[in-house]
Every structure is written in C-alpha cells, then in structure tokens.
C-alpha cells in the first residue's frame, strides 16, 4: 500500500510529517508539496487535519506502538492529541498550559508509556515554532528537558531542519 | 541464561549492606549485562580478596579485575562502543559515573544515601540519561547499583527525588536491562503536589 502525503510548504504539518517519518520503514509514504495538507488514501478517502493524518499513519503501522500499547495508553494518546490541537496550536499565550505540561512531564521521559507515541510527536510539533515556547521555555525545566531530548533524536532533527524553518 | 546458573542462589534480604549476597551482586550484574549486550557465550568469573572483587578469566590475556573494567570490556566485546559514550566529552562523563558507582554508591552508609540521591536528583534535572540524551553503560550500572536504595524509599521520598525516580523508571523499562532485579513501582503522576523543589 502506497500513501501520498501532500503538504503546504508555508504551513507544514510537523506532527504528521514526523509520523510519516516514523512509519516509513513499515508503510510506503511519499511526501510532496502542494497547496494544502492532505493524506490521500483513495479517491474517496482523504484526511486533511494533521492529527487525523497522524492517527491514520499510526494505525496502519501498529507494530511501532505509536498509538500506545494498550487501551489505557491509547486514551492517553488521544488526550494529548486533543491537548495539542486545542490548547497549544494557534493559542497566543501558553504560560498556563506549559505549567500543566511541565507537571505531567516531571515523572515521565515520554508523555505516554515508556516509548515514543503520537502524543510526543504532536505536542513537540505544536511547541516547535511557537513564539511563546521559544521565549519562555527556560521557565519550564521538565518540558525543556523532554523537548531537547526529542529534538536530538533522528526523525525530529531531520524533520525540524527540513520543514520548521519554512514556517516562519 | 548460561553463567548465572553457576552462581550461588541469592536470597533477598532487606538489609542488603550487611548481606553476604552483595558480593554476588557484581557477578549477577555482569551476567545481566552480558544478556543485555546479547553476548552468547557467558564468561567465567571468580572473585578476589575480602571485598570479593569480580575477576574475569581471559583465555589468552591476563585476567581482568573489577566491575567497571570488566563491564567496559564486555561492551567492547559486544561491539557496542557507543555505550561508552559517542564523543570525547560523553566518554569522560560515562567513566565519571562508573567510578561514582563503585566508589560512592557501593557500600554507602545510611547517611550517604540521602546525599547521593539529592546530588543525583539535581544532576538529572535537565537530563534524560546520565550522559545527556544517549543511553550508556553508566545508566545500566548506576541502575543496578541504586536499585537496593530505591527499593527502600517511601512513595513520598520517591516523589521528593523526582528526577531520580523518573530516570530510574525509564531505565528499568529500557528493553533488556532489568534481568535479575524486581521492578520497583514508581508513580507517574505527583500526589504531593503542594511540595516545591
């Protein structure tokens, strides 16, 4: 099965691109630039929302565990996907939300379970280019540690270098 | 399994410091490290002196002495040099923590435990692993060495040493590391939320 992901280069969906990068060893996903963000599955089925794209990609490659490893973890992943879409993306100020995230990460290396999941991809992507995060990151040590840990990993550094700068 | 079967069975006792099984700990650690590294052929070990320092009998070369020396040798034997650090700086940090493990953590007194945990908690504040963002053999040996200390902590103390608890829980879930040790329950959400650190 070959999937086709079209992205708008002026507003690339970093979370979806990260998911595509993570699953590329199990599923064939081609990425090309276009006028909007869209995952083409068939002529009748297409997804345009970044989280929907990530969810689909994680589900077609279940062995990678990007959607958690049990029902509880799946629900936690859903919680963080919602969290990033509603409370991080397109929000002018993050101060209160970052405090919440910092508390959640104090006893965790990854947001859900003991390995990387969509929760990490989606929240990392939402923070990556947010001006509030860039200016206030230092006040939230646990989020800072988690963020720079992920940034140092291969899919994050390559996606970050390739796409994030275009967003500005 | 291999080598583990030739060692004396260990009975778990609460006061590990005065227990004779401590001497076997080093040998069990080396057997677990061999398994983590995927070394097929278990090595032959013996102990030397009053402190029962582990000795690796090498067929061709002279024997190797001491936990850290043998551990570093096993890592090289498994062709996993990145576990000793992937830059000059991280190699130095790994050696520092290996030395810390055998000089400070092993046989520490009750008063020392709190100091060790406090210092480590501060150090791990902005780090995922002891050498930064990469897993190394320092994480493995510090995890083995700290296990008896962490087992005895109360829930409140585990939350007080937040960064140690987080690191410890991450390492004990790292695939293939926790061979001879029982899992320690670490809460993943804070209970004593009013406490500030």
Task: Quote the pTM value.
Answer: 0.89
CATH of the domain at B133: 1.20.1050.10
Residues B18 and B59 both lie in one domain: yes
Residues B67 and B124 both lie in one domain: no
User: What pLDDT tens digit does each residue of chain A (168 aa) get?
Assistant: 689 999 998 889 999 999 999 999 999 999 999 999 999 998 999 999 999 999 999 999 999 999 999 999 999 999 999 999 999 998 888 999 999 999 999 999 999 999 999 999 999 999 998 989 989 988 999 999 999 999 999 999 999 888 876 554
Report CB contact under 8 Å: B133, A104. Answer: no
Residues B37 and B116 both lie in one domain: no
Q: Which of A37, A36, A78 is nearest to A55 (CA)?
A: A78
B94 domain residue, yes or no: no
* Residue that wins the pLDDT comparison between B17 and B25: B25
Distance from CA of B159 to the nearest CA of A (A): 8
Residues of B with CB under 8 A from a CB of A: 125-128, 133, 159, 162, 165-167, 169-170, 173-174, 186-190, 193
Cβ contacts (< 8 Å) between A141 and chain B: which residues? 125-126
Residues B10 and B74 both lie in one domain: yes
B92 domain residue, yes or no: no
As for how many domains chain B has, the answer is 2
Report strand pairing: A46-47 vs A28-34: unpaired
Q: What is the complex's ipTM, to 2 decimals?
A: 0.91
* Structural domain range at position B165: 108-197
Q: What is the pLDDT of residues A90-103, one digit of tens each?
A: 888 899 999 999 99
> What DSSP designation does A106 have?
T
Among candidates B126, B173, B189 on the partner chain, residue whose Cβ is nearest the Cβ of A144: B126
CB A168 within 8 A of CB A148: no
End of a domain among B62, B79, B96?
B79
B101 domain residue, yes or no: no
Number of CB pairs < 8 Å for A and B?
A: 40
Contacts of A68 (CB under 8 A, 6+ apart): A74, A76, A77, A112, A113, A117
Report CB contact under 8 Å: B125, A107. Answer: no
Residues B63 and B119 both lie in one domain: no
End of a domain among B31, B61, B79?
B79
Residues B149 and B190 both lie in one domain: yes
CATH of the domain at B10: 3.40.30.90
Residues B119 and B197 both lie in one domain: yes
Residues B113 and B71 both lie in one domain: no
Residues B66 and B125 both lie in one domain: no
Residues B155 and B197 both lie in one domain: yes
Q: Which of B120, B8, B33 is nearest to B84 (CA)?
A: B33
B88 domain residue, yes or no: no
Q: What is the pLDDT of residues A60-79, one digit of tens each?
A: 999 999 999 999 999 999 99
């Amino acid at each position: 099965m070959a999937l086709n992901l079209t992205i708008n280069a002026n507003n690339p969906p970093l979370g979806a691109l990260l998911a595509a990068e993570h699953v590329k060893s199990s599923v064939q996903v081609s990425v090309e630039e276009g006028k909007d963000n869209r995952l083409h599955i068939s002529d009748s089925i297409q997804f345009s929302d970044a989280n929907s794209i990530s969810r689909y990609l994680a589900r077609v490659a279940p062995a990678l565990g990007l959607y958690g490893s049990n029902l509880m973890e799946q629900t936690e992943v859903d919680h963080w996907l919602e969290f990033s879409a509603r409370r991080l993306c397109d929000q002018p100020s993050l101060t209160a939300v970052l405090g919440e995230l910092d508390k959640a990460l104090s006893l965790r290396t990854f947001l859900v379970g003991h390995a990387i999941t969509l929760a990490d991809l989606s929240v990392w992507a939402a923070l990556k280019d947010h001006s509030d995060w860039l200016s206030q990151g230092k006040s939230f040590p646990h989020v800072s540690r988690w963020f720079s840990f992920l940034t140092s990993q291969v899919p994050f550094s390559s996606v970050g270098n390739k796409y994030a700068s275009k967003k500005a | 399994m291999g080598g583990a079967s030739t060692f004396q069975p260990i009975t778990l006792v609460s006061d590990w410091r005065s227990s004779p099984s401590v001497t076997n700990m080093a040998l069990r650690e080396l057997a677990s490290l061999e398994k983590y590294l995927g070394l097929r052929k278990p090595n032959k070990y013996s102990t030397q002196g009053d402190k029962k320092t582990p000795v690796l009998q090498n067929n061709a070369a002279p024997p190797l002495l001491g936990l850290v020396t043998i551990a570093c040798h096993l890592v090289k034997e498994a062709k996993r040099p990145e576990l000793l650090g992937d830059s000059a700086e991280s190699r130095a940090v790994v050696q520092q923590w290996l030395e810390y493990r055998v000089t400070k953590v092993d046989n520490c007194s009750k008063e020392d435990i709190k100091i060790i945990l406090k210092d480590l908690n501060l150090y791990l504040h902005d780090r995922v692993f002891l050498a930064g963002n990469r897993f190394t053999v320092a994480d493995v040996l510090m995890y083995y060495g700290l296990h008896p200390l962490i087992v005895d902590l109360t829930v409140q103390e585990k939350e007080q040493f937040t960064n140690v608890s987080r690191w410890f829980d991450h390492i004990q879930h790292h695939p293939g590391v926790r061979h001879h040790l029982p899992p320690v329950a670490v809460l993943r959400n804070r209970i004593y939320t009013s406490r500030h650190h």
